[in-house]
A and B are shown apart, each in its own frame.
Chain A
């Protein structure tokens, strides 16, 4: 279980202190936890904080009871935290297979690498030896990013807007990826998303706005509120 206790994050902006995250306290113990809310609300900052890329100005982060607030990115990765970037990074010269090998943390066979790629809807044969460079499209990179998280197989996985750029690949497939990840690892999957279809599978939905938790609850509690019209939206969410 991952827990944030009174976490705040401030940055200096034009010589004034700006609070990006304000006294956040929340636990992540469910199967799927969705974080949603308006742009600029602090969602990606929260994800980066879980991965250790940024450190809170105050507050604590605990993983299974251990205080990991001061642990580095590498140490947190070692403790079982994975983070899929919103905008995946390109690497000249490093192939898809090599990157998946680094993610898996051990030598992998081509068959293993292919298995991860086919789970995200990529024909492995076409991709395995390609460089993770500018020749890959945004959508392809996004899927490779997800395949890396599958290869890592850690107890906490954070996805920052995984649905962006997956036009030809259906949401159902993405949801299946999350389901099979959970089946294998029984961990907690945290998904930042604006997509109702993803929010719809969440066991817990957190609405983050203006650096604070505006509301938190089950999808049945939060979704009607989010869609703004309690009662009339039931049919709509069912359709989704």
Chain B
């Protein structure tokens, strides 16, 4: 692994070296390294690029790292990863994609992740996207996440895209059965001429299922963000969607939440707020001795934490 790839790995997976436990590292379109454990098996797909991951029922406190690194300009790939998470598991999955584009051609990674979360299983999914490189070629990431949650399962998704991705279209679809819970926390910061679209659809199909979709974002310079969030309550359920955005410079942000109740016991809430940093917040921090730029950075760092 060269220095660029090592740095990308550190950014997206906070890894300084090869992780312990199960992992699959994809670098420039090929498999760089893989490790399976007694409970977590990783199998290369034969019909299309990607992997199948099988986590045995009852697997507890294990983690799986699946970082993707692109450092070759002009590389475009679509990868299908399917996660089969057995009943009663309690696992953490750390994904992430880092693109270094030093050339003039666009680099593009589209990861299509499908999660099959078994009965009463608990999954924490962390995904970080990071781009860099001084070439003219764009860094593009289009993740699709499809989640099917069985009875009593729980999934928490933390997705972060803070820097350097020129264009992203994120699509997330989830179906929840009885007593399943899904929590999505998304953080996005765009700058320059970047474009980010994020589109959530959650179907609450089972009794007492619940979903909470929380997006916090900052749009700087001339960047544009579009946030779409649909929650369909098809049973006695609880759904909440929240988009909170800070807009700066000449950026633009659209938030379009949509909630549909198809059942009398469905309880759904949406909240959306877009605004600039409040002047009084800057002033307060300046009276503590921070410069205006330091105050702005402290407010944004807190907001996206």
Contacts and interface: CB of A to CB of B under 8 A. Distances in A.
B304 A93 contact: yes
Contact of A92 (B283, B287, B302): B302
B284 interface: yes
B284 A74 contact: no
Contacts of A78: 289
A134 to B, nearest CB: 12
B286 A73 contact: yes
A98 interface: yes
A51 B286 CA distance: 10
B46 interface: no
Interface string B274-304: 0000101101111111111000001101111
Q: What size tier do the contact residues of chain A reach?
A: 20 to 34
A94 interface: yes
A102 B303 contact: no
B283 A77 contact: no
Contacts, number: 56
Contacts of B305: 93
A83 interface: yes
B5 to A, nearest CB: 32
Nearest to A88: B284
Contacts of A74: 286, 289-292
A85 interface: yes
A94 B299 contact: yes
Q: What size tier do the contact residues of chain B reach?
A: 20 to 34
A103 B288 contact: yes
Contacts of B244: 92
A105 B305 CA distance: 20
Contact of B288 (A88, A95, A102): A102
A205 interface: no
Contacts of A94: 298-299, 302
B286 A152 contact: no
Contact of A73 (B287, B298, B302): B287
A230 interface: no
Interface string A78-108: 1001110100110111110010001101000
B290 A102 contact: yes
Nearest to A105: B289
Contact of A85 (B284, B286, B291): B284
Contacts of B290: 74, 102
Given A74-B286, A74-B289, A92-B244, A102 B298 contact: yes
Contacts of B287: 51, 53, 73, 77, 81-83
A98 B299 CA distance: 11
Nearest to A87: B280
A77 B294 CA distance: 14
A103 B278 CA distance: 19
A148 interface: yes
Nearest to A103: B288
A83 B303 CA distance: 24
A85, A93, A148 — most chain B CB neighbours (10 Å): A93
A77 B289 contact: yes
A120 B270 CA distance: 37
Contacts of B216: 92-93
Nearest to A51: B287
Contacts of A88: 284
A72 interface: yes
Interface in B246-292: 278, 280-281, 283-292
B221 to A, nearest CB: 21
A74, A77, A78 — most chain B CB neighbours (10 Å): A74
Interface in A41-61: 51, 53
Contacts of B303: 92-93
A80 to B, nearest CB: 10
A212 B139 CA distance: 62
Contacts of A102: 285, 288, 290, 298
Contacts of B304: 93
Nearest to A104: B288
Interface of A: 51, 53, 72-74, 77-78, 81-83, 85, 88-89, 91-95, 98, 102-103, 105, 148, 152
27 contacts: A53-B287, A72-B286, A73-B286, A73-B287, A74-B286, A74-B290, A74-B291, A74-B292, A77-B286, A78-B289, A81-B287, A85-B280, A88-B284, A89-B278, A89-B281, A89-B284, A91-B281, A92-B302, A92-B303, A93-B216, A93-B301, A94-B302, A102-B288, A103-B288, A105-B288, A105-B289, A152-B288
The 10 A-B pairs at the shortest CB distance, nearest first, are namely A93-B302, A94-B302, A77-B289, A73-B286, A89-B284, A93-B303, A83-B287, A103-B288, A74-B286, A89-B280
